[in-house]
Amino acid sequence: MSYETVIGLEIHAELLTLTKVFCGCSADFGGEENTRVCPRCSGMPGSLPLFGRGAAELAIKAGLALNCKINNFSAFDRKNYFYPDLPKAYQITQFNYPICTDGFVDICTKKIRINRIHIEEDAGKLIHDDELGLSLADYNRCGIPLIEIVTEPDIRSAEEAKQFTAAVALALKYAGVCDAKMEQGSLRCDVNISVMPKGSKVFGTRTEIKNLNSLRSIGRAIEYEYSRQTELCERGERVIQQTLHWNDALGVTKALRSKEEAHDYRYFPEPDIPPLFITDEEIKAIKNTMPEMPKEKKERYLKMGLTPADADLLIFDKALADFYDEAVKCYNNPKSVASMIIVELLRRMNDLSLPAAELKITPSDFAELCKMADDGTVSRGAAKDILKQMLEVGGSPMEIAEKGGMLMSNDTSAVEAAADEILAANPKAVEEYKAGSAKVFGFLMGQMCRSLGRSANPAIVKKVLEEKLNS
Ligand code: ADP
Ligand code: MG
Ligand code: ZN
């Protein structure tokens, strides 16, 4: 029998607030262990949480970026459980009344519906030392604001799950909600997965794989779990609903101990934080601050004449897309600027392992270079060298071209003189050419370029040489 996978994702994204959500501790990544904690975020008895509305604003932006309804009323609950990374022994989260509901994300092939986005606080981090056989707790992450994005079970393959996660990460980055660095854990994904016979409408029993922190491991964990579940079904056994951990090194899922799984959280309304009222005017004001999102940008790029693949390449890196937009403002030739970025700049950035955010070239200098290559101020080959120098040493393209003698000369008299000289020095080649050997023309062109240097305009050289040979 063949089976279909059903997948729903829960994505946790850390919000880019300066401080934690219920206290004034820094919300930056890292820091020496247990130096960013206070009585509030470590849950000392008698301390009161204070909700920072900055987190609400970012959650609303996430909702807008993911096409959700923003709720005028939302509220916080306590989710009670004991685990060493949670000193309060409860997590404050929006259980009954989330801030956003009913959104969607378009991926290549379809729409994935979002059930809800709610605000909650992150827990600390446990560091397990297998050699010493002990676990250490770092509470710096306790109380960093998160949103949890929960999808409907609309995803049907590992590929779709990866596409969806990448699209969400990009949208959150564009909206300035989260830096979405999966490797640092600022965006993490829980995968709920079940299988059912193809064509069935009844979902199977699901398992939940916790805390995947790369697109690759999301894909691998799904493939593995699909095989494991279908094999169980084939053998007539049942899938047990449980929480699993993905072991990336071994490439297998493993059940967490069952005591960690006792799902009786005894939710109740958080007594120390008032509900959140957000007016339509406030939502509108936040909407007005939203930047252009990836989908809109892509539509605009397609209208400017870029191919979908080129548009995607630029959009995938927000800093690069911003660079491109600024450069096109300086030199309105969208296709030429895009091609210089994609063909030349990206390759060099790769070689230098240079992220777009750290580019030292200004968009206007880059635009100038594109223009110089287009209008024949420098040759294409020289433009590449100039770009290299701009990246490695800095400087404006015109300066570099002048210093390096790369400005293309349109003076035909020098070219004619060189042609006379070279033809006189190579009578045999001239003879061969006249006898019909086209190959020898390349040799003569090469001689010309060598004699004229970087300033030779190949079009002019070719024309003059042809004229002389055919006269
Ligand atoms: P819980 O409250 O136990 O976390 P939810 O109903 O909120 O459960 O669902 C959590 C996630 O699991 C959602 O993304 C949902 O789409 C997904 N999901 C629910 N049922 C299934 C299923 N049978 N197979 C795969 N995913 C499922
Ligand atoms: Mg869940
Ligand atoms: Zn604190």
Ligand nearest to the CA of 115: 1
pLDDT of residue 293: 95
* pLDDT values of the chain reduced to their tens digit, one per residue, 471 residues: 899 999 999 999 999 999 999 999 999 988 899 999 999 999 899 999 999 889 999 999 999 999 999 999 999 999 999 999 999 999 999 999 999 999 999 998 899 999 999 999 999 999 888 888 999 999 999 999 999 999 999 999 999 999 999 999 999 999 999 999 998 899 999 999 999 999 999 999 999 999 999 999 999 999 999 999 999 999 999 999 999 999 999 999 999 765 455 578 999 999 999 999 999 999 999 999 999 999 999 999 999 999 999 999 999 999 999 999 999 999 999 999 999 999 999 999 999 888 888 888 999 999 999 999 998 888 888 999 999 999 988 899 999 998 988 888 777 788 888 889 889 998 898 888 888 887 889 899 888 888 887 777 778 888 888 888 887
> Which residue has the least CA distance to atom 13 on ligand 1?
8
Find the 8 Cα to ligand 1 centroid distance in Å: 6
> What radius of gyration do the chain's Cα atoms show?
31
Task: Provide the Cα torsion 86, 89, 93, 95; round to 10°.
Answer: 130
- Ligand 1 atom with minimal separation from the 204 CA: 23
> Which residue has the least CA distance to atom 22 on ligand 1?
206
Distance CA 266, CA 406 (A): 74
Find the 140 Cα to ligand 3 centroid distance in Å: 8
| Backbone torsion region of residue 266, taken as left when φ is above 0, otherwise alpha when ψ lies between -120 and 50, otherwise beta | left
The answer to whether 171 touches 81, Cβ cutoff 8 Å, is no
pLDDT of residue 220: 97
How many residues are given for the chain?
471
3-state secondary structure the chain: CCEEEEEEEEEEEECCCCECCCCCCECCCCCCCCCCCCCCCCCCCCCCCCCCHHHHHHHHHHHHHCCCEECCEECCEEEECCCCCCCCCEEEECCCCCCEEEEEEECCCCEEEEEEEEEEECCCEEEEECCCCEEEEECCCCCCEEEEEEECCCECCHHHHHHHHHHHHHHHHHCCCCCCCHHHCCEEEEEEEEEEECCCCCCCCCEEEEEECCHHHHHHHHHHHHHHHHHHHHCCCCCCCCEEEEECCCCEEEECCHHHHCCCCCCEECCCCCCEECCHHHHHHHHHCCCCCHHHHHHHHHHCCCCHHHHHHHHCCHHHHHHHHHHHHHCCCHHHHHHHHHHHHHHHHHHCCCCHHHCCCCHHHHHHHHHHHHCCCCCHHHHHHHHHHHHHCCCCHHHHHHHCCCCCECCHHHHHHHHHHHHHHCHHHHHHHHCCCCHHHHHHHHHHHHHHHHHECHHHHHHHHHHHHHC
Measured CA distances, 39 to 17, 36, 204 (Å): 20, 11, 45
Task: Calculate ∠ Cα 252-256-259, nearest 5°.
Answer: 170
pLDDT of residue 260: 53
pLDDT of residue 379: 87
Find the 10 Cα to ligand 2 centroid distance in Å: 7
pLDDT of residue 190: 97
pLDDT of residue 29: 86
- 250, with CB counted inside 10 A (0-12, 13-18, 19+), is exposed
Pocket of ligand 1 (CB under 6 A): 6-10, 150-153, 192-194, 203, 206
pLDDT of residue 268: 96
- Ligand 1 atom with minimal separation from the 151 CA: 14
- Ligand 1 atom with minimal separation from the 10 CA: 14
Find the 52 Cα to ligand 1 centroid distance in Å: 30
Find the 145 Cα to ligand 3 centroid distance in Å: 12
87 - beta bridge partners?
none
Find the 265 Cα to ligand 3 centroid distance in Å: 24
pTM, two decimal places:
0.85
pLDDT of residue 370: 97
Q: How many CB atoms lie within 10 A of CB 331?
A: 20
The structure tokens 């970012």 sit at 58
Distance CA 164, CA 67 (A): 14
Ligand nearest to the CA of 210: 2
Which one of 192, 201, 264 would you pick to mutate in the ligand 1 pocket, going by the greatest count of ligand atoms within 8 A of its CB? 192
- Domains annotated for the chain, with CATH where assigned, are 3-282 (no CATH), 292-403 (no CATH), 412-470 (1.10.10.410)
pLDDT of residue 157: 96
pLDDT of residue 450: 84
